[in-house]
Structure 1
Amino acid sequence: MCGFVALYNKTKQPVSQTSLNQMTDLLSHRGPDDAGSHLDKYVGLGFRRLSIIDLKGGRQPLCNETGDIWITFNGEIYNYQELQSWLKDRGHRFKTDSDTETIVHLYEEVGFDCPKHLRGMFSFMIWDRKKQILFGARDHFGVKPFYWTETADSFAFGSEIKSLLEAPGTERKVNPTSFYHYLTFQYVPDPDTMFEGIHKLPPGHSITIKEGEMKIEPYWSVEFKPEDRPFSHFVEGTREALKESVDKHLVSDVARGSFLSSGIDSSSIVALMRQHEDVKTFTVGFDIPGYSELDIARETAQFLKSDHYELKITADRYLEELPRLIWHQDEPVADPSAIALYFAAELASQHASVVLSGEGADEFFGGYNIYREPHSLRHLTRMPTWMRASLGNFASLLPEGVKGKSFLIRGSKEVEDRFFGNALIFSEEMKQKIATTNLGADPAYRRADEITAEIYERAHAYDDVTKMQYLDIHTWMRGNILMKADKMTMANSLELRVPFVDPKVFEFAATIPTKYKIANGTTKYVLREAMKDLLPPQIKSRKKLGFPVPTRHWLKHDFYDWARNLIYTSETDEWINKSFALHMLKAHKEGKADYGRKIWTLLVFMLWHQIFIEQKISFGPYVSPYIESRRQQAR
């Protein structure tokens, strides 16, 4: 697990070692154990290493035996040993036992098809000196980040945006379209970022630079293929797929552990890890009733016999760390649990270098409560279109607060018109009030349904629940869930692995019919049945809690003065109607409305703007004190 950068000068002028070092040094938290670079005239590769596999031999950038193919790579390849064996049989000679070198020889063997053969999480750049080609790829689902930008004379690539901001010619400007999307989704959907001119390489895509021309194309895509088989087939298959995936994800030469919440996802991971080894588990919570999973997680840890560690987060500590953690995120992501995840990672980094977690289970196995909505609305959605439209028009005339109004309105719409992913912060009407720009007059503006329409189009043949899963995999999972997981663990120099987000696991999960995903009054039904013999009985039926963070409560009390002051002092008048923001904050404090998520979305953007655009708050390379102590002990 590491961080990488790459530079390609389109005018074929030499890459500056100083610029490359400045970009690479900003990734020291991702790789505190080692640093390296390789310059070849107009191409430069930079690297920071967190040593996980082949501690002595896995230094990067790394080359083949002839020195004409070089790689800088962030991630882990879980099938590298099988690939290595196959490549040796075909005559390739290895000088290390690292998964990194396996990619180099795989590229030699199959060329641009090499990402198709990789099972793992990865972002990498390969410099093919003979062909004068720079080639890169990002893993199937976007577990590892991959950013790129183009300036007047160069292309720059990296694991984090902050490195690209150090590349010569890169500007710090807000992308207006991204800001509008952020107000809807609480993150910026692929392939854009909040910075104008800086982009994400979409998951399942590769990128090629030759003679100064860049090409981006997919090498893999998400497909659901439900099969008509007995329920027992899916239960047994799910159990076996997860067992095999967890086994693969345990490959490392350093200490491992797992996050543990109150739900079935992380509990399943821990239970399967326990079949191989003793497990350290880590949980965080809060001291406010209803906002802590500590007690339940502790009970689960006792049942699973893990070596359990926990931490209670205070409002003061949360607020104290918030600015630096937004710096680590690169972009505003207004999910309060992202910051809480940092504290879990900080706790885990004191005891392990690798931690497993349960991200992806909800998207793959149908776990979000909102996925039950198509079943709840089935009597309405079976009505003729004209009748549903009439009911929706009637319901819209009812006063706010009337029971059943929202149900009728949502039932009058197709799933494509009512579901935009797991976060819908500001409605189109509210965006008109909070944004200072006349959105309708901006040619770059696109409504939420326009953003999701092209994704739904690719899923047009699926049932409504599968459409919702498909949308979340392409938006919420990659833009929020996996992004915060990577950035908050890497802020602590901790490698996160996600056994659910695995091509082989998805390959099987994609065959499960909806009737077995949403069934018996619950979600993830197949997964619950598959794991019930390994977990406490109450886990099977427990509803999904997410990762509750008391920002709604804090904004009324502990955070109120800070929030008001930030709104006043932030130089975001160009984007945000501050009068309306203050009105929402006051109404929230007085209990007149619950604007918690909306206010938090604005505050995170304002704080991000202070750090990256106004540059009023400065952070340099940061290494966790626990990682520093480990390095000192190793010396």
Structure 2
Amino acid sequence: MCRIFGCLDQEVTPHHLRTLSALQRHGGPDAQVSRLLGDSAVGNNRLAIMDVDGGDQPYTELAGRIQVVFNGEIYNHARLRSELRGKGYAIPDECDGSVIPALYLEHGADFPERLDGMYAVAVLDLRGDGPTLVLAVDDIGMKPLYYHRKPHESRFYFASEIPALLAVPGVDPEPAQWSLDSYLATKTPFGEETAFRHIRVMPPASTAVVRRDGELRIWRRDRNIAQDIAQDIAQDTPQDTTPGAPAGAGFHASVQEVREVLRGEVRRLLVADVPVSAITSGGLDSSLVTAFAAEAAPALHSFNIAYRGDWPADERHYAREVAERCGTVHHQVLADPRSFPDLLPDVVWHLGQPNADPITLSTYLLFREVSEAGFKVALTGDAADELFGGYDRITRALATAGSGDGDGWVDPYVEALAAVPSALRTRLYTGEYRDYIEREGSVSSRLAEQLRTSRLNRMARLSEIEIGLRLPAYHLRRVDHLSMAHAVEVRLPFCQPAVVRLAGRLPVDHKVLGDERKRVLYAAAGTSLPRSVLDRPKQPFTLPIQAMLRSGEPLLDFARSVLSPSRLRRDGLLDPAAVTGLFERQLQRPSATAASAIWALLIYQLWIDQFGVRRWAATGQGAVR
């Protein structure tokens, strides 16, 4: 696991490369290296997980004419190494990434088709008339890779994190005009665009070729898991669809298959040359991963986070029950809410762009403790809800009356994705920004149109959004950036291809039936977890912001300071009077809606402050000073 960076730029200097490296060192403290090769460069900050004494980057072939930097883990590296050595390639060590140069020579830009893992890879090919960069990211988007390229310019930069790119001269912190509306409508920008106008992110299952003259070609590979799972679901013939119908033989077979496949993936991800831990929130998904990991790893260490004081939705007792059942060495992390105002700017900086989930603060603190306890690797339960239908909005969308072609479910579903309801968003915007959104069209309306015009069945359309768009943008980038902020590699059993493809093949009713969610997963966990965890009401693993944004709490005072009328007037996006009214409403009649809106606006304003984002102007010319 590492951070990587590089460029094609005739004006790049060692100073630029040192800056890129320094701003990502938190994710790769074990070694830092960069190579300036004429008008191109690659670099790496290493977090040593496999073959700790080997694995020096860049990996090379052909006397240095092929240079490779790599972030992530390749799980099938032993088989690839054996095959490549059998073809005569000399691979110097047992590190997983060391196979990539030979794999590239053997298969060219199609080399990612042979990789099983989570990865972002950059190959610098110095053969021919000029340097060529080949970039690739894994099939579901576990390892982000951002790039900067302005139209009609040959200069191209890439990095694992946005803050590093913003330190390069010429990469301006210019916001995309739609960024606030997009963020409030979906909690973080979806797709290839980011909140910055000239910074984009590689989509899952994509490969790019960049040439010195500025030509950029990017394509989605055939092994696109999100599309595959939607197609699998589209071909599904529902079974056991009568509410309350007993689970048949088909369901029991699905339960057994899910249990064995997930157990196998958890055990596979325990392989490392450093200690591995588990995150145990007390919910079904992370608890099941912990249980399977504990079967294969005696004295496994588990981690849970809670908050000092008396707060609603405290899950620590569920996590402790799981730890006792599984025999783990349990670490109870206690965060002090009084420290949150000091920590939030760091969280926003590491994320690089706004993410409205309050869990970001909890995630940052939790992985800090994992690192301080001496662990470089942690297993989590992320992505189970997307794959197995764990969200209320999914069950509501499926339960809405109408045939598979009906679209009465679309608007409520899109509304459920938002950080701030559409009617409230409109009231919070300045007149200038409101006019711009009405003229250009909102992100919500585009999502709704995508859902209405799709020819797939309802569950397949939901999966395209949940797995293809929301999972990589909202969940996986957050997990990557906030764990690597403390040099911790997160491994994700539910994101492994075997689990993802299995979830896509399952009949819809094996996942969701009436009000039942994740049916097959609950059944698979039945003999491994305490009944208290299996029978408990579902609640999100998050920060209790409604309770923390109340009179006398430091978080409320901090939010009012950051969202002061003078600062809002300076930036020209939000109506100061409307935001003041939102605070008054929260003080008089506290609600989840008002608290979530305040939190979302707080994060956006901190993002503006952290990166010196230019003031937006609705002139059609972009941002201005």
* TM-score (normalizing by structure 2): 0.89
Contact 2:389 2:395 in 1 (8 A): no
User: Counterpart in 1 of 2:244?
Assistant: none
What CA distance in whole angstroms lies between the structure 1 residues aligned with 2:149 and 2:542? 39
User: Counterpart in 2 of 1:182?
Assistant: 183
User: Counterpart in 2 of 1:397?
Assistant: none
Indicate yes or no: 2:115 matched with 1:118. yes
**Aligned counterparts, 1:540-551, within 5 A:** 540-551=534-545
Amino acid at match of 1:604: I
Tell me the CA shift for residue 384 of structure 1: 11
User: Counterpart in 2 of 1:608?
Assistant: 607
**Aligned counterparts, 1:2-13, within 5 A:** 2-9=2-9, 13=10
Structure 1, 436-445 or 260-269: larger mean CA deviation: 436-445
What CA distance in whole angstroms lies between the structure 2 residues aligned with 1:61 and 1:89? 23
3-state SS of the aligned residue for 1:230?
Answer: helix
User: Counterpart in 1 of 2:478?
Assistant: 484
User: Counterpart in 2 of 1:537?
Assistant: 531
User: Counterpart in 1 of 2:69?
Assistant: 72
User: Counterpart in 2 of 1:504?
Assistant: 498
How has the CA–CA distance of structure 1 residues 529 and 251 changed in structure 2, closer, same or farther, with 3 Å as cutoff?
A: same
Tell me the CA shift for residue 144 of structure 1: 1.0
3-state SS of the aligned residue for 1:607?
Answer: helix
User: Counterpart in 1 of 2:619?
Assistant: none
Q: 1:316 aligns with which of 325, 338, 353?
A: 338
User: Counterpart in 2 of 1:233?
Assistant: 253
Tell me the CA shift for residue 443 of structure 1: 8.0
User: Counterpart in 2 of 1:620?
Assistant: none
Indicate yes or no: 2:296 matched with 1:276. yes
Contact 1:522 1:541 in 2 (8 A): no
3-state SS of the aligned residue for 2:73?
Answer: strand
User: Counterpart in 1 of 2:469?
Assistant: 475
User: Counterpart in 1 of 2:96?
Assistant: 99
1:240-276 CA distances to partner (integer Å, 9 max, x unpaired)?
A: 2212211221121101100001111111111111221
**Aligned counterparts, 1:102-181, within 5 A:** 102-131=99-128, 132-151=131-150, 152-181=153-182
Amino acid at match of 2:357: D
Tell me the CA shift for residue 444 of structure 1: 7.2
Amino acid at match of 1:283: N
Contact 2:137 2:204 in 1 (8 A): yes
3-state SS of the aligned residue for 2:302?
Answer: strand
Contact 2:278 2:378 in 1 (8 A): yes
3-state SS of the aligned residue for 2:483?
Answer: helix
Structure 1, 86-95 or 277-286: larger mean CA deviation: 86-95
1:326-385 CA distances to partner (integer Å, 9 max, x unpaired)?
A: 11111111111111011111121123110000001111111112222145433xx25997
Tell me the CA shift for residue 521 of structure 1: 4.3
Amino acid at match of 2:388: F
Tell me the CA shift for residue 238 of structure 1: 1.0
Structure 1, 37-46 or 533-542: larger mean CA deviation: 533-542
Tell me the CA shift for residue 183 of structure 1: 1.6
1:553-586 CA distances to partner (integer Å, 9 max, x unpaired)?
A: 2211312222222112535531111211111011
Structure 1, 498-507 or 540-549: larger mean CA deviation: 540-549
3-state SS of the aligned residue for 1:289?
Answer: coil
How has the CA–CA distance of structure 1 residues 216 and 32 changed in structure 2, closer, same or farther, with 3 Å as cutoff?
A: same
Amino acid at match of 1:311: V
How has the CA–CA distance of structure 1 residues 242 and 177 changed in structure 2, closer, same or farther, with 3 Å as cutoff?
A: same
What CA distance in whole angstroms lies between the structure 1 residues aligned with 2:571 and 2:443? 23
What CA distance in whole angstroms lies between the structure 1 residues aligned with 2:125 and 2:184? 41
User: Counterpart in 1 of 2:442?
Assistant: 447
User: Counterpart in 2 of 1:255?
Assistant: 275
3-state SS of the aligned residue for 2:27?
Answer: coil
User: Counterpart in 2 of 1:389?
Assistant: none
1:399-448 CA distances to partner (integer Å, 9 max, x unpaired)?
A: xxxxxxxxxxxxxx533333128531233332222122343445873323
Gaps of 5+ in 2: 238-248, 615-625
User: Counterpart in 2 of 1:585?
Assistant: 583
What CA distance in whole angstroms lies between the structure 2 residues aligned with 1:601 and 1:426? 8
Identical columns (%): 27
How has the CA–CA distance of structure 1 residues 508 and 382 changed in structure 2, closer, same or farther, with 3 Å as cutoff?
A: closer
Indicate yes or no: 2:361 matched with 1:360. no
Contact 1:435 1:577 in 2 (8 A): yes
Q: 1:526 aligns with which of 520, 542, 552?
A: 520
What CA distance in whole angstroms lies between the structure 2 residues aligned with 1:583 and 1:509? 45
Tell me the CA shift for residue 489 of structure 1: 0.6
User: Counterpart in 2 of 1:426?
Assistant: 420
3-state SS of the aligned residue for 1:414?
Answer: coil
What CA distance in whole angstroms lies between the structure 1 residues aligned with 2:567 and 2:381? 36
Gaps of 5+ in 1: 386-412, 616-635
CA RMSD, 1 decimal = 2.2
What CA distance in whole angstroms lies between the structure 2 residues aligned with 1:117 and 1:283? 36
1:596-633 CA distances to partner (integer Å, 9 max, x unpaired)?
A: 11111111111111111169xxxxxxxxxxxxxxxxxx
Aligned residues: 582
Contact 1:178 1:192 in 2 (8 A): no
What CA distance in whole angstroms lies between the structure 2 residues aligned with 1:65 and 1:95? 13
**Aligned counterparts, 1:186-197, within 5 A:** 186-197=187-198
Contact 1:78 1:119 in 2 (8 A): yes
User: Counterpart in 2 of 1:334?
Assistant: 356
Structure 1, 527-536 or 157-166: larger mean CA deviation: 527-536
Amino acid at match of 1:507: R
User: Counterpart in 1 of 2:52?
Assistant: 55
Amino acid at match of 1:26: L
3-state SS of the aligned residue for 2:340?
Answer: helix
How has the CA–CA distance of structure 1 residues 217 and 444 changed in structure 2, closer, same or farther, with 3 Å as cutoff?
A: farther
3-state SS of the aligned residue for 2:263?
Answer: helix
What CA distance in whole angstroms lies between the structure 2 residues aligned with 1:425 and 1:534? 35
What CA distance in whole angstroms lies between the structure 2 residues aligned with 1:516 and 1:120? 27
3-state SS of the aligned residue for 1:309?
Answer: strand
3-state SS of the aligned residue for 1:57?
Answer: coil
What CA distance in whole angstroms lies between the structure 1 residues aligned with 2:155 and 2:169? 8
Amino acid at match of 1:446: G
Contact 1:191 1:200 in 2 (8 A): yes
Contact 2:61 2:102 in 1 (8 A): yes
Contact 2:318 2:532 in 1 (8 A): no
